[in-house]
Structure 1
Amino acid sequence: MKFIKIISAALVLCASTNAYSQTASVTQTSPDKRISLTVSTINKKLVYNIKADKKILIDNSPLGLIADSVDLGDNVVMRGVVQNSKVKESYPILGNHPTAHNEANELDIPIIAAGKPMSVIVRIYNDGVAIRYSIPAGIKRIDGERTGWVMPANIDKIAWADYSQSYEGVNYVTAFDKVPEGKTIMGPVTFQTNGYYLSVSEADVENFSDMSFMRNGNVLSAYFPFAKKGWEVKPPSTTIYLNGTYKGQQVTPWRTTMIARSLNELANSDLITNLCPPPPKGSDFSWVKPGRSMWQWWSIGAPKLDDQKQWFDAAAKLKWEYYLIDDGWRNWKKDGKDQWTLLKEAIDYGKTVGVKSIVWVDSKEFRKAPERKAYLDRVKAIGASGIKIDFIPDATAEIMQWYAETQQECADLHLLLNFHGSVKPTGLNRSFPNDITREAIRGNEYHMTRYRRVMPPQHDVTVPFTRLLTGPADFTSVILDPKQLATTKFSWPHEFAQAVVYLSPIIHFTDQYQFYLDNPMFDLFQTVPTVWDETRVLPCTSMGDVVAFARRKGSTWWVGVMNGGEEREVKIPLDFLTKTTKATLVYDGETNTSVDRKEKTVSKKDVLTIKLRPSGGFVAKM
């Protein structure tokens, strides 16, 4: 059931003398009163700070837009009446749990910045805060932002990623002083400090350039690598639902700070989707179905026309719902038939064995609206269930509107959508649930022999607390080919655990189908879910070292453990179980491409002791 309740009130600004004072502040707390956000002017500069349990987590940090070559975070006075509202709603999601609960206190704080009236809009949740700006009337160009995060002095560890146009950089966990200065790093950036985990990113990016970060001393600042010279502000679209407006005014995206007392709280946060609009009124997304997908490009390259039936048949044997026909089908020709006719024949065959099809396309085929609509109509007409769009340009404000347009048009046609070579998600899969997964991650395409690519083990145990905090990731999980696992020597249980730990409502399994059909884990591949009713990050997890998730679907629990580069032993209490049950336990085998599989009865009183090889893993079904 979906419900929303918004209560509004007015707050007079708390100033040192009056509403026109140079020094003023407004404070709001989270619904549970534990987290507070204060927005202030200090010497006419706009700043904010965040506290949790009365501890300062983010000290006074800069706020403000830079527009038309004017710093709208300087020469600021607060004036007028602060509008106070409450958000309370729930909605369905395909993810770590089936329902998201969205409860927050919101303030609209009027300011005059360099003579221009605008607002700072804030939301305070039990698991974080978010800040955005209204764009003053008449602004012609966004040049950048002053928004920053003054980092605490006692950071235990911090997770961040190398610069990459498509978010495919390596993810690291380091000390704060190892984060490069003056260089672009990609978000989210997650750090452990003072008994909390904080993760900073953005949400609801509709027609704004994608935000990354740059470190200068102890300040992490918003940065726009794809629009270094800024961009023009265009009037909001009248035909696109996601047109960059909020409550009737043009706004920036939300700048977000997740706050959690544990990695379990962090991974279960719905802050990013909570900040996004609901689906358009009257929408019905009941046709969006999660599942598992066969995929051939990683293992063999371009799809071969003559063996498409074998791929569909293998998917059917594995009880997988989808098969992705990747780049290369455009070159199919046979018996006087063009590629579209042959593609339809392949899709039609898949339907006869109960497997639906997703079709790959290069984004350059439809960058403009008329071509895009015609192409999508054609994909739908031949019977495809979804589309994978690759090689997308830099995430400028214009391209972010292209994403929004594509989401909407695919939804109208009931086409599932998977963006590859793309920008990170910002929660808008809430608005359009057909945007079911996307890449924007350094996945298994960066561990393959034909390109001489080798994945570092720390990356695998970092991304659950960086990129995956923004939304589902098409990591293309589960390599089994021994030749491909001869370098870093990821183990088979480690690889299978990717399917449990990395959230993707459609998982595209990366390897050639025979490796799944002939594997001792074959029956588990047939039944592993892709969306969950409950998720727990287990206590042995350490960001950048080892990750362990327990996830429940119905009455069945799955456990996935992935180890980093050092041999270790972990203990997993089974206290999440409600009754004694049969369990399948899959440990690392004698080699990295073998398993030690055991069937036994377990109960909530049991504690599993697991010895993990470097880059090893563990999987359980119980």
Structure 2
Amino acid sequence: MKNHLFISAGLLWSLFSMSVHAAGSRGDLLRLGSPDKNIEVCVEEDGGWLLYSVKRGKVDVLQKSPLGITVDGNDLGKGASLVAEPEIEKIQEKYPIFGNHAEASGRGVEAVLPMQASGVRFGLVVRVYNDGVAIRYILPEGAKHIGNERTAWALPQRVKKVAWAEYEPGYEGYVHVTALEAMPDKGYVGGPLTVDLGNCYVTLTEADCESFPDMAFTRSGNTFQAGFPASEKGWDIRRLPDESEKILAGRYKGKDVSPWRCVIIAGDLTALVNSDMLTNLCPSPEEGRDFSWVQPGRCLWQWWSVGAPRYEEQKEWFDAAAKLTWEYYLIDDGWRNWRKDGKDQWELLEEVIAYGRSVGVKSIVWVNSNEMRTAGPRRAYLEKIKAVGASGIKIDFIPAATAEIMQWYMGAMQDCAELGLLLNFHGSVKPTGLSRTYPNDVTREAVRGNEWHILRYGRVLPQSHYVALPFTRLMAGAADVTPVTLNPREIETGGYTWTHEFAQSIVFLSPITHFSDHYSYYLESPFLDLLKAVPTVWDETRVLSCTEMGEVVAYARRKGNDWWVGVMNGDKEREIEIPLDFLKKSMDAVLLHDDDKILASVAREDRKVSKKETLKVHLRAGGGFVGWFH
């Protein structure tokens, strides 16, 4: 439940270590501390420019960094001043999520600063949580055009390494963990970025992007600046005329606003991965709307392993999903070409969906976004998908994320929420926390996942890629990486083991997880019992101490009373230790180790383990480990 409390600036000094200088004064305009008094943000005017900085304890997280946005030709970061006392709001909330844990929570404080620059009134909204800082702009009344944004993140000199992505509009670029100096200093890099500062970790990204273009970064030395590759020359502020008034369109407290510019701050990787900051910054669901029909689960699909789904084979795939006890089957690209016995593709689609229901498996259906690029055709198409009995839609090949296309995303989310359809965007832009508002936006691609690593196209992903993904794209939200390839020929190209592949389904969060391979490999595998049992959402997540960004990733996740451990190794053979102190008692365990000689094999142990035990695990390059404790 969300609890808002307005407090005077004087009282807030004692509660949140906050100070506000009088309107028109120079220097600090705002100092705002987190409820736990561990994080502080300072907004100031220096040399005629609006700046902010962030500390964790007494240590700089961000040095003085530019603020500002150009609206209708006016740079609102230049010559800005306060015109009234800030409005202060305490934030304390909890709500259910499908994610790294079952309930999100946020404790923070917000200050809304009434500002002016060059005679133009605008606002600056600053939030400080116990796990970070976010800032957004309230646009001037009647604003018509955004020219640029100056918001930047100036890192201190002690950067150890950065997890980052090569920029690609659909977020299918390679990801890396490198020294800061090894990053490109020209052109864009994709976010989120995660920075190891030695004494803490910092993730830079955005939240609640409803009507601005998608944000990327440019780098100059230690400073990253917001950039908009899809709209480099700026964009008009306008509501698409054919969209419903119900869609989110970039408004906050009745005003047009920018998305939140965020810095998530954590003392360790467990706290970083468990941050709820992005969803905390997004609106609650529409009042009265019931999302209890949104159910996570495992999903089988045909395209990756054999190409376009064949009508004649659909019963076999539904039957296989039922044998695996998986909840969903995806009817991917190719069903549009089905014709048989005088029936068109829609009649045949309805038939196979009905068969799936008869064996207890729900259906998700693929569509190319070019069949629904505007509000009217989109709604009509989605109504047709619902009418044939589908539970969800996978929308692919979405254009670059301009301001107009971001509003289209909002419209698709709203339509699917109203129709009771699960939503999986592919060929898409990263999420920004809006799965809180629309829990039916259950997963999306925006990642170079296993659809890229595929033999028939001659594409291979490097081993270092997978162990950087948790700290880049996955920091934005659920990612449809389509994990767990078991075909020996496919994994051989990259040198991956079966344990590495299965660990992907544990490490990579996707409330509906689409398993990539042909069902025969799963039904015949020596860990079929684990494939039948593995969850897709979690009650608790811990990042184990052996984890090192870009080298090896080890997660322990709990669902109910069961614990699952997934370890993915990078490109160097290594030994790791896994203390089992997260267990509350001795438990039965299934332990899957790399086979020393064969990639497409596992060394399986079934035995009792103690919470006092430490597992010693040898990992091949491209290898992994899976543990199920039950």
The two structures have a TM-score, normalised by structure 2, of 0.97
Give the counterpart of 1:75 among 71, 76, 79: 79
Quickly say closer, same or farther: Cα 1:499–1:14, change in 2 above 3 A.
closer
Quickly say closer, same or farther: Cα 1:384–1:581, change in 2 above 3 A.
same
Give the counterpart of 1:336 among 325, 342, 346: 342
Q: Deviations over 1:187-241 (max 9, x none)?
A: 0011111411000000000011110000012210000000011110125977134
Secondary structure at 1:186's aligned position in 2?
strand
Distance 1:235 1:485 in 2: 47
What RMSD over aligned residues (CA atoms) do the two structures have, in Å?
1.3
**Alpha-carbon distance, 1:123 to partner:** 0.5
Distance 2:616 2:20 in 1: 58
Match for residue 596 of structure 1?
603
Check if 1:217 corresponds to 2:216: no
Distance 2:509 2:198 in 1: 28
Give the counterpart of 1:37 among 35, 41, 49: 41
Match for residue 134 of structure 1?
138
Distance 1:197 1:259 in 2: 6
Distance 1:153 1:32 in 2: 26
Match for residue 3 of structure 2?
4
Match for residue 531 of structure 2?
525
**Alpha-carbon distance, 1:15 to partner:** 7.7
Any residues of structure 2 matched to 1:369-388 within 5 Å, and which? Answer: 369-388=375-394
Check if 1:391 corresponds to 2:392: no
Any residues of structure 2 matched to 1:443-592 within 5 Å, and which? Answer: 443-589=449-595, 590-592=597-599
Q: Deviations over 1:126-180 (max 9, x none)?
A: 1101000000113210011000011211111101000111001000000000110
Give the counterpart of 1:290 among 264, 289, 296: 296
1:304 corresponds to which letter in structure 2? R
Check if 1:300 corresponds to 2:313: no
Quickly say closer, same or farther: Cα 1:384–1:105, change in 2 above 3 A.
same
Contact 1:158 1:173 in 2 (8 A): yes
Contact 2:20 2:31 in 1 (8 A): no
Distance 1:594 1:149 in 2: 46
Runs of 4+ in 1 over 2 A off after TM superposition: 2-16, 21-25, 235-238
Secondary structure at 2:146's aligned position in 1?
strand
Contact 1:40 1:48 in 2 (8 A): yes
Distance 1:414 1:433 in 2: 11
Distance 1:249 1:323 in 2: 42
**Alpha-carbon distance, 1:252 to partner:** 0.3
Contact 1:7 1:87 in 2 (8 A): no
Distance 1:465 1:218 in 2: 19
Secondary structure at 2:451's aligned position in 1?
helix
Check if 1:123 corresponds to 2:127: yes
**Alpha-carbon distance, 1:14 to partner:** 6.2
**Alpha-carbon distance, 1:44 to partner:** 1.8
Give structure 1 stretches of 5+ with no counterpart: none
Contact 2:132 2:265 in 1 (8 A): yes
Match for residue 32 of structure 2?
28
Q: Deviations over 1:435-480 (max 9, x none)?
A: 0000001100111111110101111011111111111000000000
Check if 1:434 corresponds to 2:440: yes
Match for residue 316 of structure 1?
322
Match for residue 413 of structure 2?
407
Match for residue 152 of structure 1?
156
Quickly say closer, same or farther: Cα 1:15–1:290, change in 2 above 3 A.
closer
Match for residue 166 of structure 1?
170
Secondary structure at 1:298's aligned position in 2?
helix
1:174 corresponds to which letter in structure 2? T
Any residues of structure 2 matched to 1:249-268 within 5 Å, and which? Answer: 249-268=255-274
Structure 1 residues 74-83 or 257-266, which shifts more? 74-83
Number of residues of Structure 1 aligned to a counterpart in Structure 2: 620
The two structures have a TM-score, normalised by structure 1, of 0.98
State, as a whole percentage, how many aligned pairs show the same letter: 53
2:510 corresponds to which letter in structure 1? S
Match for residue 98 of structure 2?
94
Q: Deviations over 1:102-129 (max 9, x none)?
A: 2111001121122211111011001101
Distance 1:187 1:9 in 2: 37
Match for residue 623 of structure 2?
616
Contact 2:20 2:85 in 1 (8 A): no
Distance 2:141 2:360 in 1: 54
Match for residue 613 of structure 2?
606
Check if 1:360 corresponds to 2:366: yes
Give the counterpart of 1:19 among 11, 18, 23: 23
